[in-house]
Amino acid sequence: MSTKEKVAVTIDAPASLVVLRPIRMLVRELLDQWLSVEEHAEFVDDMELVFSEAFTNICRHAYPDRDGEIRVTVELDSNRLELRFEDTGVGFDPESVPDPDPASPGVSGYGWCIIREKTDRWSYYSDGRGRNFLELSVRLPQGR
Amino acid sequence: MEVTLHGEVAVIATDEKLDAVVAPQLKETVRKLADEENKRKIIIDLGKTKFIDSSGCGSLVASLRVLTKNRGEMKIAGPSRQAKSLFELTRLDRVFEIFADVESAMRSFR
């Protein structure tokens, strides 16, 4: 595959766990095709995990008591993977999420820690018109 | 998800994926075994599980809580490289008793 190539995929989906696995699989397949999965299996596993955490968090926390939508955009070029999630639900403050404490393990609260750890850059903001954006950026492993 | 009984030990073999879709099912299975069938020694066999996320981890913590409340024990067996990496990242490797396979976990009860 040429290093000049770039691909972007946008998916509008219900914020529902019913579609978590199919969309996660699509992202995984895209990465498998973009990279050599045999050489980069751990990276692909990590990105599948990051996607799962972001999508599940929005389903659970952005729309706690109503149906909603998520727009997912996946962009790949020769250097980076960018994942963007848009929703119109309840926003949150990422800085308020504590790191896991093994002395008092919780049943939730690990997702944001995973996202922070597995990505190079992240941002979360609201546009003031009811849309929230989670943007994640990761450098691709060398040698694709 | 499959449950097999080996004397007083119950082994729950999880499916290929342990995520938000099936996390409630694991919690409910453990609750039923502990509360209704008085099973206090449970092994969660992750040998077939290729993908686990934080919801899966949360369901394991919830299961451990149920068993601890019932004065029981929970062991985790056969985690993949991905699962072990996630347990380390979330520091749950310090919370769970983790064994390479079901046989080792079984022996640790004796």
Q: Catalogue all structural domains in chain B, each as residue range(s) with its CATH number.
A: 2-108 (3.30.750.24)
Q: Is A108 on the interface with B (CB under 8 A)?
A: yes
Q: Is A25 on the interface with B (CB under 8 A)?
A: no
- Look at residue A143 in the predicted model and tell me its pLDDT: 54
Give me the mean pLDDT over the B42-65 stretch.
97
Model confidence pLDDT, tens digit, residues B7-25: 999 999 999 999 999 999 9
- Look at residue A45 in the predicted model and tell me its pLDDT: 94
Partner-chain residue, chosen from B20, B92, B95, that has the shortest CB–CB distance to A56:
B20
Q: How confident is the model at residue A98 (pLDDT cuts 50, 70, 90)?
A: confident
Assigned CATH class of A7-139: alpha beta
- Look at residue A99 in the predicted model and tell me its pLDDT: 80
Model confidence pLDDT, tens digit, residues A60-94: 999 988 899 999 999 999 899 999 999 999 998 88
- Say yes or no for a CB contact (<8 Å) between A56 and B58: no
Lowest-pLDDT range of A24-38, A61-75, B57-71: A24-38
Q: Whose structure tokens read 């729309």?
A: A63
Model confidence pLDDT, tens digit, residues A104-117: 888 778 899 999 99
Q: Which ipTM score applies to this complex?
A: 0.89
Partner-chain residue, chosen from A17, A53, A100, that has the shortest CB–CB distance to B21:
A17
Please tell me the distance from the alpha carbon of residue A45 to that of residue A17, in angstroms, as a whole number: 19
- Dihedral pair phi/psi, residue A87, rounded to 5°: -145, 170
